[in-house]
Amino acid sequence: MTTQPSAAARSARAQAAKPPHQQVRYLIVVGIGGAVGTSARFLTTQLSAPWLSQPAATMIINVIGSLLLGLLLEALACRGPDVGRRRMVRLLLGTGVLGGFTTYSTFATDVQSYLQQGQWLLAAGYGIGSVLLGLLAAGVGVWLATVLHRGGRRPIKRGSAS
C-alpha cells in the first residue's frame, strides 16, 4: 500500500518550490511592512512640517532610511545566508518598512518641481546631494553593522609583523 502525501503537504511543498517573490506569505509580510513604513513616513513628514520644507523632510527620511537599510542588510548578512527567519526579517523590515519609509517618487517629484520653477542649481544640488548622502549613509550603516558584529574588535591583519 502506497501512502500519498496529504493535499496540505503537497501545497506546502509546491509553495516552497516557488521563488520568494511568488510566495504569498512573503508578499503579505512585505505589504504589512510597507504599510508600517509608509505610515511612519507620513507621520514624520507631518510632524516635521513646522520646521522643515517637504523636500528637506524627504531628503532626511531617505538618508535615514538608507542608513538603516545598510545597517539591517549587513547585520543580516553577517549572521548567515538569506533563508528562513533572516529572509523574513529582510523582507519585513528592509523591503517592507524601509521601502515604504523611503520614497524615490517624492524625491523625483521634488526635483521636477524645482526644475519647473527654473531653480536648476537647487534641483541639481538636491538631486545629486540626496543620492550621494544616501550612498554615504548606506555605507555608514554597513560599516556600523560590521563593527557591531565584531563587538568593536579590530580585524587581525594577517601577514603583518606586529
Q: Where are the alpha helices (DSSP H) in the chain?
A: 7-17, 24-48, 54-78, 84-89, 99-101, 104-116, 120-150
Check residues 11 and 148 and name the one with the higher pLDDT: 148
Residue found by looking up cell 511568488 in the block: 22
Q: Which pLDDT band, with edges at 50, 70 and 90, does 158 fall under? A: very low
152 is in an annotated binding site: no
Instruction: Report whether pLDDT(156) > 50.
Output: no
Q: Would residue 6 count as lying in a domain?
A: no
Q: Would residue 46 count as lying in a domain?
A: yes
Q: Would residue 14 count as lying in a domain?
A: no
Domain of 146 in residue numbering reads as 20-150
Integer Cα distance of 63 and 138 in angstroms:
8
Task: Using a cut of 0.75, tell me whether the model's pTM lies above it.
Answer: yes
31 is in an annotated binding site: no
Residue found by looking up cell 537647487 in the block: 122
What pLDDT does residue 19 have?
84
Residues 33-43 pLDDT 10s = 999 999 999 99
